[in-house]
Structure 1
Amino acid sequence: MLEFCQVHKAYATPQGPLSVLAGVDLILHAGESLALMGESGSGKSTLLHLAAGLDLPDAGEVRLAGRAISMLAEPDRARLRRESLGLVFQQFHLVPSLNVVDNLRLQARLAGRENAAWTARLIERLGLAGLEKRYPEQLSGGQQQRLAIGRALAPRPALLLADEPTGNLDETTADEVLALLQALVHDAGSALLVVTHSPRVAAPLDRCLRLSHGRVNDATRERHDPA
Structure 2
Amino acid sequence: MLQLTDVAKSYPTPQGPLFVLDGIDLRLAPGESLALMGESGSGKSTLLHLAAGLDTPDRGEIVLGARALSSLDEAGRADLRRQRLGLVFQQFHLVPSLSVLDNLTLQARLADREDRDWTHHLIERLGLAGLEGRYPEQLSGGQQQRLAIGRALAPRPELLLADEPTGNLDEGAADQVLDLLRALIGESDCALLMVTHSARVAAPLDRCVHLHHGRLADRTP
- Interval of TM-score (by shorter of Structure 1 and Structure 2): over 0.9
Q: Which amino acid aligns with 1:26?
A: L
Q: Partner of 1:97 in structure 2?
A: 97
TM superposition shift of 1:186: 1.1
The one-letter code matched in structure 2 to 1:5 is: T
| Structure 2: stretches of 5+ with no match in the other structure | none
Q: Which runs of 4+ in 1 moved over 6 A?
A: none
Give 1:78-227 correspondences, 5 Å limit.
Answer: 78-219=78-219, 221=220, 223=221
Seq. identity, %: 73
The size of the alignment, in residue pairs, is 221
Distance (whole Å) between structure 2 residues aligned to residue 139 and residue 15 of structure 1: 47
Contact 1:9–1:59 at 8 Å: present in 2 too?
yes
Name 1:51's counterpart in structure 2: 51
Unaligned ranges ≥5, structure 1: none
Letter of the 2:27 counterpart = I
Q: Is the 8 Å Cα contact of residues 57 and 70 (structure 1) preserved in structure 2?
A: no
Contact kept? 1:104, 1:154, Cα under 8 Å: yes
Q: Matched residues in 1 for 2:10 and 2:69: separation?
A: 18
* SS of residue in 1 equivalent to 2:149: helix
CA deviation map 1:129-188 (0-9, x unaligned): 010001000000000000000000000000000000000011111011001001111111
Cross-structure match for 2:30: 30
**Deviations for 1:185-212, whole angstroms, at most 9, x for unmatched residues?**
1111110000011111101100000000
Q: C-alpha separation between the residues in 1 aligned to 2:28 and 2:117?
A: 29
Task: State whether residues 104 and 151 of structure 1, in contact with CA within 8 Å, keep that contact through their aligned partners in structure 2.
Answer: yes
Please give the root-mean-square deviation of Cα atoms over the aligned residues, in Å: 0.6
Q: Aligned partners of 1:67, 1:113: CA distance in 2, in Å?
A: 20
For residue 95 of structure 1, what is the amino acid of its counterpart? Answer: V
| 1:9 shift after superposition | 0.7
Equivalent residue number for residue 62 of structure 1? 62
Aligned residue type for 2:40: S
Residue 73 of structure 1 deviates from its aligned partner by: 0.7
Contact 1:196 1:202 in 2 (8 A): yes
Question: TM-score scaled to structure 1, two decimals?
Answer: 0.96
